[in-house]
């Protein structure tokens, strides 16, 4: 059977974003703050963050409504404080939001605002978008299919760049910072423009496997900011209303832009790019000797000696590695463990960095543990367990490590740790309630750190390791500071100034700050200057180019620094967008009150079923409709489904629910099938079936170090009852039986680079044993495994697979058949089957080409395969003998990886199979061609 999909159902809905089913332990007690705009649901102890989020949203909502529309439906926002991820989402199907409350160390990338507040002003803009895009055809889809229908209608009519660009504009409008004012946010496009990389619109929208392409956030911001600047604050409200309504039919968004701007879509885009190019007209032009494609990111250089650097190198065809570079020659030390931030520091043959490790069971609970790498042996040692440490750095003697500790409550502290054991030596008092980033020792009892205050302003500060006393080297401002290094009585750091991120030098002796001149006519220019390293008079830092973050080298002397008096805090540049200062919603964030809002308990049983969408599914001969439900805390998922089978004509209605808030998942369900059809002595007979099932599953996550590892095990009990319809009851007896379905699933893989089709090393094993325990006698055992190995090329992959399935003698139950039969053959469930398979995967081309803003082709890849299945069956005679046959096939497949509608990923292929044996169960001839289609719906 082949999977057929309606074209409109190929879009991935917003509901797929970042959710963790059953991700919080049951010990968490939840509370809520209820306002007309939102229900903020939070773990006990996070009252301050919840109150602030609710107050901000309640205050800014009336002021920012006019630009999109006045529709409002309350949304539930869940504050997640167990994770180390700095992110959030708003989704439909179901309509809810989650904020991940650990702030990022890198203030250049996301800004330095109070993190829950920044999430509130960004994410609630998405809430307003969804509320106001429930119009016209999008609304009709919602009426028919629920929230998933609206998600489909919105995704097809409004590009993802608008969703994020509009939200970034909102955070920039209502605050004194926001990414629209940060130079780092534009680095990607500035680098492309400086290198005269005039990529097509479709390439900018869809990305590339060979060239660097910025994501849709800065692209969207530039489009949205330009539209509001030129055509007024209500421009996008009118455009998106028409687009979501599908007033103009095909290309609704593009047509609406032309209607309200008077420009066609291409002219509008060009105008937006030209507007921002003028803001960065002083950027240097990259020389003609530059590479053609992306090369590698070289990050966080550190001097090993005066002629050797160590840094992290990441290529599109290789996972991140620590590399030693001396006199132009590189030597790989070790692959980097899985992490959320590439930051590391070096001292005397040792590297320390924070590595990612999830909790064994609870998906929202994530740790950031310190790892020390010996560059001489390549061995790593994990020195902390179940910690949330960030930006570690060695002391001058290498015996102590300072790291930023972020508690689930959001409080930040500097911890001093033993560099050998990771033992906590002391926690430095944080009396001023600062958030620390990139701390470094500059004396035995002094640490220098970039700090953020409660407003989100930043300064460079000294912290006494015993008393916690703070001395500020720079005034507080909204200009980000970070990437600190210390050498010979000087502190070198990156800081935003105007439209640029530059290097500054603090003299610890005089307390004065200087601007480092990094211009050098012998080097190709870079955008921004980050991650400095110093060794004597030698200096290295990182600049951004279209070919990756690239290490620059220079000197550090009195001749190339200019004394720069730091100004008092001033507003960041608006990058040529005057409306940011003229709108009635400008700079609302600091004005939001801190009103004490009522707090109540949030019941974990609230809205358990919460049916939100109807999903159609076509899997010929089965046609089904599924009513999906999921509660806000994502601990209970349920499905009511109706299925029609075209072959037999039977109808089935059923319900399945799974509860994930306990250590094992608990599941239960029931199906009733009527008008099942069978044959007896040439006559059709009809019966009805009742199926009940319940079980448990234990999902475990062993990810850590270099590998991503999952193990799950479970067992289900099934009860089935067959009742013959009235016309056949006198001839056939009703029957029933009960069986157990036991399974174990294991997967383990190393990290996978962007271009790699498969991980270079991976294993996936599935074991399943079904056995009847009442009513009838039957067993079935299945073992299935795939093993991935490196191929001849860096992006090639060899996959060896095997499978074995055996039924018990005289089975009375026809268990479902999941055996992976040889490709090209008509599959049949036989008593004993064993299979060996091998396939070799390889890339063919990276076209980076598309048409009409409908489809874009990123990669063409292929694979060669050989499958050999051997099957026997004592109850099935072939030529008068018990069945014993081989099913061998070999062939090739061609796959196309790309995107449709400039945002939804899609892969499809054509497979040719040559049958080396007869297809005994169907089909004619030895050559088969199959279309392999995607399987995701909505």
pLDDT score recorded for residue 12: 32
Q: Give dist(CA 916, CA 327) in Å, integer.
A: 57
Q: What is the pLDDT of residues 702-725, one digit of tens each?
A: 999 999 999 999 999 999 998 888
Q: What's the rounded mean pLDDT across residues 361-375?
A: 97
**From the CB of residue 27, how many other CB atoms can be counted at a distance below 10 Å?**
7
Q: Give dist(CA 322, CA 299) in Å, integer.
A: 10
pLDDT score recorded for residue 569: 56
Does residue 732 surpass a pLDDT of 90? no
* Tokens of residue 475, six digits: 């005034």
- Could you tell me where the DSSP H helices lie in 195-309? 201-206, 216-231, 235-245, 252-261, 265-279
Q: What is the pLDDT of residues 869-910, one digit of tens each?
A: 999 998 777 777 889 999 999 999 999 999 999 999 999 999
User: What domains, with CATH codes, occur in the chain?
Assistant: 28-106 (3.30.2010), 297-563 (2.120.10.30)
pLDDT score recorded for residue 300: 98
Highest mean pLDDT out of 220-229, 241-250, 611-620, 674-683: 220-229
- Tell me the whole-structure pTM to 2 decimals: 0.95
Q: Beta 855-878 vs 832-845: how paired, if at all? A: antiparallel
pLDDT score recorded for residue 565: 65
Q: Give dist(CA 424, CA 404) in Å, integer.
A: 12
Q: What is the pLDDT of residues 539-586, one digit of tens each?
A: 999 999 999 999 999 998 876 677 666 666 567 899 999 999 999 999
Does residue 232 surpass a pLDDT of 50? yes
pLDDT score recorded for residue 214: 98
pLDDT score recorded for residue 526: 74
Asked if residue 218 lies in contact with residue 188, where contact means CB atoms within 8 angstroms, the answer is: yes
Please give the share of the chain, as a percent, with pLDDT higher than 90: 83
* Tokens of residue 393, six digits: 């750095």
Q: Beta 832-845 vs 849-851: how paired, if at all? A: unpaired
Give me the torsion for CA of 114, 116, 117, 122, rounded to 10°.
120
Q: What's the rounded mean pLDDT across residues 203-208?
A: 98
pLDDT score recorded for residue 523: 53
pLDDT score recorded for residue 520: 62
User: How big is the chain, counted in residues?
Assistant: 938
pLDDT score recorded for residue 16: 38
Q: How confident is the model at residue 619 (pLDDT cuts 50, 70, 90)?
A: confident
Q: What are phi and psi of 240, to 5 degrees?
A: -70, -30
Q: What is the pLDDT of residues 855-874, one digit of tens each?
A: 999 999 999 999 999 999 98
Query: Whole-number mean pLDDT of the chain?
Result: 93
Q: Give dist(CA 778, CA 816) in Å, integer.
A: 12
Asked if residue 37 lies in contact with residue 57, where contact means CB atoms within 8 angstroms, the answer is: yes
Q: Give dist(CA 443, CA 397) in Å, integer.
A: 10
The continuous run of DSSP H or E covering 544 comes out as strand 538-545
Asked if residue 421 lies in contact with residue 430, where contact means CB atoms within 8 angstroms, the answer is: no
Q: What's the rounded mean pLDDT across residues 925-932?
A: 93
Provide CB contacts within 8 A for 397, sequence distance 6+.
Answer: none
DSSP code per residue over 863-910: EEEEEEEEEEEEEEEETTEEEEEEEEEEEEEEEEEEEETTTEEEEEEE
Q: How confident is the model at residue 31 (pLDDT cuts 50, 70, 90)?
A: very high
Reference 102, options 356, 382, 400; nearest CA is 356
Does residue 3 surpass a pLDDT of 70? no
Q: Give dist(CA 369, CA 358) in Å, integer.
A: 10
pLDDT score recorded for residue 812: 80
Reference 558, options 508, 530, 522, 517; nearest CA is 517
Q: What's the rounded mean pLDDT across residues 524-536?
A: 88
Q: What is the pLDDT of residues 264-301, one digit of tens each?
A: 999 999 999 999 999 999 887 766 578 899 999 999 99
Task: Compute CA distances 877 → 359, 679, 782, 824, whole Å.
Answer: 53, 20, 23, 23
pLDDT score recorded for residue 923: 77
Asked if residue 866 lies in contact with residue 890, where contact means CB atoms within 8 angstroms, the answer is: yes
pLDDT score recorded for residue 814: 81
Asked if residue 89 lies in contact with residue 18, where contact means CB atoms within 8 angstroms, the answer is: yes
Q: Beta 683-701 vs 927-932: how paired, if at all? A: unpaired
**DSSP summary character for residue 477:** B
Q: How many CA atoms lie within 13 A of 55 on its CB side?
A: 20
Does residue 7 surpass a pLDDT of 80? no
pLDDT score recorded for residue 560: 66
Task: Compute CA distances 84 → 52, 97, 102, 389, 392, whole Å.
Answer: 21, 17, 5, 9, 15
Asked if residue 167 lies in contact with residue 180, where contact means CB atoms within 8 angstroms, the answer is: no
Does residue 6 surpass a pLDDT of 90? no
Q: What is the pLDDT of residues 426-478, one digit of tens each?
A: 999 999 999 999 999 999 999 999 999 999 999 999 999 999 999 999 999 99
**Distance, first Cα to last Cα, the chain:** 21
Q: Give dist(CA 398, CA 376) in Å, integer.
A: 16
Among 408-422, 581-595, 717-731, 771-785, the minimum mean pLDDT is found in 717-731
Please give the share of the chain, as a percent, with pLDDT higher than 70: 95
pLDDT score recorded for residue 17: 46
Burial class (CB in 10 A: 0-12, 13-18, 19+), 790: middle
Does residue 522 surpass a pLDDT of 70? no
Q: What is the pLDDT of residues 799-830, one digit of tens each?
A: 999 999 999 988 888 888 899 999 999 988 89
Does residue 848 surpass a pLDDT of 80? yes
Reference 912, options 790, 823, 832; nearest CA is 823
Place of tokens 């529309």: 69
pLDDT score recorded for residue 729: 78
pLDDT score recorded for residue 938: 38
Q: What is the pLDDT of residues 322-336, one digit of tens each?
A: 999 999 899 999 999
Among 85-99, 392-406, 555-569, the minimum mean pLDDT is found in 555-569
Does residue 207 surpass a pLDDT of 90? yes
DSSP code per residue over 425-437: EEEE--TT--EEE
pLDDT score recorded for residue 2: 31
Does residue 614 surpass a pLDDT of 70? yes
């Amino acid at each position: 059977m082949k999977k057929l999909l309606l074209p409109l159902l190929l879009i991935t809905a917003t509901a797929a974003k970042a959710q963790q089913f059953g991700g919080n332990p049951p010990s968490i007690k939840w509370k809520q703050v209820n306002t007309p705009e939102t229900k903020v649901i939070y773990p006990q102890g996070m009252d301050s963050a919840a109150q602030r989020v609710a107050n901000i949203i309640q205050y800014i909502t009336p002021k920012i409504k006019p630009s999109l529309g006045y529709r409002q439906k309350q949304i539930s926002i869940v504050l997640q404080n167990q994770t180390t991820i700095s992110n959030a989402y708003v989704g439909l199907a179901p309509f809810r939001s989650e904020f991940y409350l650990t702030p990022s160390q890198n203030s250049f990338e996301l800004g330095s605002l109070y993190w829950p507040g920044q999430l509130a002003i960004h994410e609630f803009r998405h809430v307003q978008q969804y509320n106001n895009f429930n119009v016209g055809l999008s609304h009709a889809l919602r009426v028919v299919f629920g929230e998933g229908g609206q998600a489909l209608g919105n995704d097809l009519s409004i590009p993802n760049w608008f969703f994020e660009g509009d939200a970034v504009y909102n955070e920039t409008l209502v605050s004194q910072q926001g990414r629209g004012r940060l130079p780092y946010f534009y680095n990607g496009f500035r680098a492309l423009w400086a290198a005269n990389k005039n990529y097509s619109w479709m390439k900018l929208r869809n990305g590339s496997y060979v060239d660097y392409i910025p994501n849709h956030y800065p692209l969207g911001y530039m489009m949205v900011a330009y539209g509001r600047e030129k055509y007024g604050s209500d421009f996008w409200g009118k455009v998106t209303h028409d687009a979501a309504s599908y007033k103009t039919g095909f290309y609704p968004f593009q047509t609406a832009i032309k209607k309200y701007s008077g420009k066609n879509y291409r002219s509008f885009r060009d105008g937006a790019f030209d507007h921002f190019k003028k803001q960065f007209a002083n950027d240097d032009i990259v020389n003609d000797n530059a590479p053609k494609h992306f090369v590698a990111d070289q990050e966080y250089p550190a001097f090993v000696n005066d002629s050797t650097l160590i840094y992290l190198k990441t290529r599109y065809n290789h996972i991140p590695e620590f590399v030693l570079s001396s006199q132009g020659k590189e030597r790989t030390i070790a692959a980097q463990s899985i992490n959320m931030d590439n930051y590391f520091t070096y001292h005397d043959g040792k590297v320390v960095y924070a590595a990612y490790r999830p909790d064994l069971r609870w998906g929202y609970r994530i740790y950031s543990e310190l790892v020390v790498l010996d560059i001489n042996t390549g061995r790593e040692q994990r020195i902390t367990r179940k910690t949330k440490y960030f930006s570690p750095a060695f002391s001058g003697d290498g015996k102590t490590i300072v790291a930023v500790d972020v508690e689930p409550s959001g409080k930040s502290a500097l911890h001093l740790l033993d560099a050998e054991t990771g033992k906590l030596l002391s926690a430095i008092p944080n009396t001023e309630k600062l958030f620390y980033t990139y701390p470094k020792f500059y004396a035995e009892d002094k640490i220098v750190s970039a700090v953020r205050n409660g407003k989100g302003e930043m300064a460079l500060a000294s912290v006494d390791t015993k008393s916690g006393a703070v001395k500020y080297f720079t005034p507080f401002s909204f200009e980000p500071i970070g990437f600190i290094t210390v050498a010979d009585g000087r502190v070198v750091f990156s800081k935003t100034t105007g439209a640029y991120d530059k290097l500054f030098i603090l003299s610890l002796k005089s307390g004065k700050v200087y601007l480092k001149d990094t211009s050098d006519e012998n080097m190709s220019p870079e955008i921004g200057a980050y991650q400095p390293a110093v060794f004597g008079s030698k200096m290295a830092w990182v600049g951004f180019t279209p070919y990756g973050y690239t290490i620059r080298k220079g000197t550090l002397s009195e001749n190339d620094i200019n004394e720069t008096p730091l100004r008092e805090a001033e507003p960041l540049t608006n990058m040529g967008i005057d409306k940011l200062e003229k709108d009635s919603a400008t700079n609302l964030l600091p004005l939001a009150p801190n009103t004490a809002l009522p707090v109540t308990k949030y019941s974990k049983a609230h809205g358990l079923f919460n049916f939100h969408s109807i999903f159609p599914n076509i899997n010929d001969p089965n046609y089904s409709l599924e009513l999906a439900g999921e509660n806000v805390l994502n601990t209970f998922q349920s499905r009511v489904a109706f299925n029609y089978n075209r072959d037999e004509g039977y109808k089935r209605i059923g319900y399945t629910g799974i509860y994930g808030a306990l250590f094992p998942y608990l599941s239960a369900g029931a199906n009733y099938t009527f008008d099942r059809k069978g044959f007896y002595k040439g006559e059709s007979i009809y019966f009805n079936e009742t199926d009940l099932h319940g079980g448990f599953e234990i999902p475990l996550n062993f990810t850590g170090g270099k590998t991503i590892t999952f193990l799950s095990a479970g067992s289900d009990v099934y009860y089935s009852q067959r009742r013959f319809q009235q016309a056949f009851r006198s001839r056939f007896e009703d029957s029933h039986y009960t069986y157990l379905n036991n399974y174990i699933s294991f997967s383990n893989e190393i990290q996978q680079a962007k271009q790699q089709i498969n991980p270079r090393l991976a294993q996936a094993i599935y074991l399943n044993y079904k056995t009847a325990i009442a009513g009838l006698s039957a067993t079935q055992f299945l073992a299935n495994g795939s093993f991935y190995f490196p191929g001849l090329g860096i992006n090639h992959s060899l996959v060896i697979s095997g499978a074995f399935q055996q039924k018990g003698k005289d089975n009375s139950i026809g268990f479902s058949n999941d055996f992976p039969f040889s490709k090209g053959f008509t599959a049949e469930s036989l008593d004993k089957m064993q299979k060996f398979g091998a396939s070799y995967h390889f890339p063919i081309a990276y076209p980076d080409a598309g048409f009409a803003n409908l489809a874009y082709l990123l990669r063409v890849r292929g694979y060669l395969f050989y499958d050999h299945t051997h099957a026997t069956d004592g109850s099935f005679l072939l030529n008068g003998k018990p069945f014993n046959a081989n099913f061998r096939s070999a062939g090739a497949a061609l796959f196309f990886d790309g995107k449709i509608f400039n945002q939804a990923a899609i892969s499809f292929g054509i497979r040719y199979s040559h049958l080396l044996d007869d297809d005994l169960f169907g089909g004619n001839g030895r050559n088969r061609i199959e279309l392999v289609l995607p399987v995701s719906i909505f």
